[in-house]
Amino acid sequence: MSETSTATVTTRASAGLPYEPLPAFGFPDDAALADCQGKRIGILIVADNTLSTLAPVLKRIPPNVWQNIEEVVVFDNASRDSTFELAVGLKTVCDLPKLQVLKHPKKLGYGGNQKAGYRYFLEKGFEVVVLLHGDGQYAPEILSRLFHPIVSGEADAVFGSRMMKKYGHPLKGGMPLYKYIGNRILTIFENRALGMCLSEFHSGYRAYNLNALREMDFSHMTNDFHFDTEIIIKLNHRHRRIKEIPIPTYYGTELRYLKGLNYALNVVRTVWHYKLTCRSVRCAPEFAEYFIHYPIKEMKHSSHDYAQRFVGSHQEVLDIGCGKGFFAAQLRKNANRVVGVDSIPKSPEHEALEQYIAADLDVDQERILPRLNGRRFDRVLLLDVLEHLVHPEGLLAAARAALKDNGCLVVSLPNVVNITVRLMLFLGRFDYADRGIMDRTHLRFFTRDTARRLLEENGYEILEEKMTVMPVELILGLSPRNLLIRALNGFLAALTAVLPGLFGYQIMFLARNRQTFQQP
C-alpha cells in the first residue's frame, strides 16, 4: 500500500469521517493557511441532486479546515434524489456536529440557493463564507487557500480561477472547447466593460468577507447562474478587494444542464443593466441601490456645467435640495465650502458637506435659517427644486435672507415648451415620467417668461440667463466621453443658441437680491 493510501485510511477529517483527498493533491501542510485567527468561518455547500458526489466532497475537506471552521452547511435545492437524506445520515452516523443540513421545499435556482445560504450565515453573525459545490466540480482540498486571504485581511473576496493554469490547462481538466472559448470571450468583455482585470469571471469556487455581502441588496438579484456575475459587479462597484487563486479544472455532469448561449446572453444583459443604472438611464432592479435619480450631468452646456461656472471657486455655498451631495462633491474640488439642505435622511454620501440640514423644503422653509446660526453665503443653489414645491415663494425668501450682500442665487427650472414636450402634445399625449421635464413629482411648469417672473416677483434681479442642452447621454445611455455624444452635444448647443425656447432643456439663472443693490 502506498504512503498516500495509508494516510487516507488513518487520517480523520472530523470525528468518524475519513479524509480521502484525490491523489493529485497529496497532503499539503495547510495548518497555517487554515488558521481561522478567531474568525467565524462557514462553508456553504450548494447541492442539487448530488447523491453520488456529496459524501466524497465532504471527505475531501482537510482535517485542518474542519478544525478551524465553525459550520459546514449543505443547502439542498429540493433535490429529486436522496441528497438530503444522505447528508443527514452522514451527520448522524459519522458524528459531525459542525455539519448542518437544510432542504428547500421547492427549487430556488442556483442563485436563489446561494442567497438563502448567505442570509443564513449573515443572520448567525459569521464573518467569512466559502461557496463549495456539492457535485465535486471544485477541489475541497484547497479550501484553506480560499479563505486565508480574507482571514488575514488581504482581500474581501477570493475567486478560484481555472485560467491561472497552476494545475494544468482547463482543456486538460475536461472543460469543453466551446466553453473555454466562451469563457475567455465573456471575461475579456466583462473586464473591458467593468474596468477590471480578472483572469476568469465564471468560476463558482469563491470565498467572501460577509461584511462585503452585508452591504448588498439581494432582493432583486437573479436566481439563475449569472448571480455570480452580479456579485462580482457589486463587489467591484464598492471597490472591494478581490484576489484570485489558481484552482484545478474538473467537469462533471451538472453543467450539461447549463445552456451556454443563454448564460452568455444573461451575462451580457447583466453588465448592460449595470451600466445603464450607473449612468442613470434606467433603473435595473438588481442594481437599484446604485441608481441616482438626479445624476450629475457631465456634458458641456448642462445645468451642472453652468452651475459650476456660476459658483466659481473658494465660495461659501448653500445647496438647497442637495440630495446625497454628489454635486457638492464636485464643488469641493474647486475649494468651495458647501452646506446642504434636503428632506432625505442623512447618509454617508453627505460627507462632502460641511453641514447637512434635514428639512422639508415645502413645510420647513422658516426653520432653515435659524439652523444656519446666522451664517450667510456667497452662493445659494436651487437646482431642480422650485418646480417640486407648492409654495416656492417661501423658499426663495429664505434663500434671499441667506445671501451675503454681494451673494448670488443660482436656479435651474425645466423648460416646459421644449420641443420634446411640444411633440408629445402634438401627438395628443401628456405623459409623466420618472424624471426630466415631465417628472411626475413636478407641481409647477415654467417657460422662460414665467421663470423670470417668479424670480423678479420675489425680490431678485436676474444677472445672467442660460438655456441648457438636452441630456442626450442620459437618453441614449452612452458615456459623456463618447464621440457621438460629444458631437450631438455640440450640435444641440448650436440649435439651442438659435432657438433657446424650442430646444432649451432647462433655464438657468444667476440672480441677486434686488433690495441690496437698489439706489438710495
User: Are 207 and 77 in a shared domain?
Assistant: yes
Q: Residue 154: inside a domain, yes or no? A: yes
Per residue in 6-17, pLDDT (tens digit) is: 333 335 656 578
Say how far apart CA 290 and CA 256 lie, in whole Å: 35
Give me the pLDDT at residue 316, please.
Answer: 96
Say how far apart CA 520 and CA 492 lie, in whole Å: 44
> Is residue 299 within 8 Å of 492, Cβ to Cβ?
no
Contacting residues for 379 by C-beta, under 8 A, at least 6 apart: 310, 311, 315, 316, 317, 318, 407, 408, 409, 410
492: CATH: 3.40.50.150
The cell 448564460 sits on which residue? 263
Q: Residue 390: inside a domain, yes or no? A: yes
Q: Which of 495, 388, 397, 402 is nearest to 444 (CA)?
A: 388
Give me the pLDDT at residue 12, please.
Answer: 60
Q: Among 74-83, 271-280, 306-315, which is the least confidently predicted range?
A: 271-280
166: CATH: 3.90.550.10
> Is residue 248 within 8 Å of 168, Cβ to Cβ?
yes
Which residue, 254, 269, 289, sits at the end of a domain?
254
Domain extent, residue 457, equals 303-515
Whole-number Cα distances in Å, 299 to 104, 321, 465, 479, 489: 50, 21, 18, 10, 8
Whole-number Cα distances in Å, 28 to 45, 54, 144, 411: 23, 22, 11, 68
Backbone angles phi, psi at 480, to 5 degrees: -60, -20
Q: Residue 243: inside a domain, yes or no? A: yes
Q: Residue 361: inside a domain, yes or no? A: yes
User: Are 222 and 328 in a shared domain?
Assistant: no
User: Are 242 and 310 in a shared domain?
Assistant: no
Whole-number Cα distances in Å, 211 to 126, 286, 326, 447: 9, 19, 25, 50
User: Are 245 and 310 in a shared domain?
Assistant: no
Q: Residue 37: inside a domain, yes or no? A: yes
Give me the pLDDT at residue 363, please.
Answer: 87
User: Are 244 and 347 in a shared domain?
Assistant: no
User: Are 73 and 210 in a shared domain?
Assistant: yes
Give me the pLDDT at residue 13, please.
Answer: 59
Say how far apart CA 442 and CA 436 lie, in whole Å: 9
Q: Residue 259: inside a domain, yes or no? A: no
| Mean of pLDDT over the chain | 90
Per residue in 451-501, pLDDT (tens digit) is: 999 999 999 999 999 999 998 887 777 778 888 888 998 999 999 999 999
Secondary structure (3-state) at 92? helix
Q: Given a cut of 80, is residue 143 above it in pLDDT? A: yes
Length of the chain: 520
Q: What is the mean pLDDT of residues 350-371?
A: 89
Q: Residue 292: inside a domain, yes or no? A: no
Give me the pLDDT at residue 256, please.
Answer: 46
Amino acid at 266: N
Amino acid at 248: P
Strand pairing partners for 41? 128
Per residue in 305-330, pLDDT (tens digit) is: 999 999 999 999 999 999 888 899 99
Q: Which of 238, 226, 232 is nearest to 268 (CA)?
A: 226
Give me the pLDDT at residue 11, please.
Answer: 54
Q: Residue 268: inside a domain, yes or no? A: no
Helix H or strand E encompassing 157 = strand 157-161
Overall domain count for the chain: 2
Q: Which of 343, 408, 412 is nearest to 383 (CA)?
A: 412
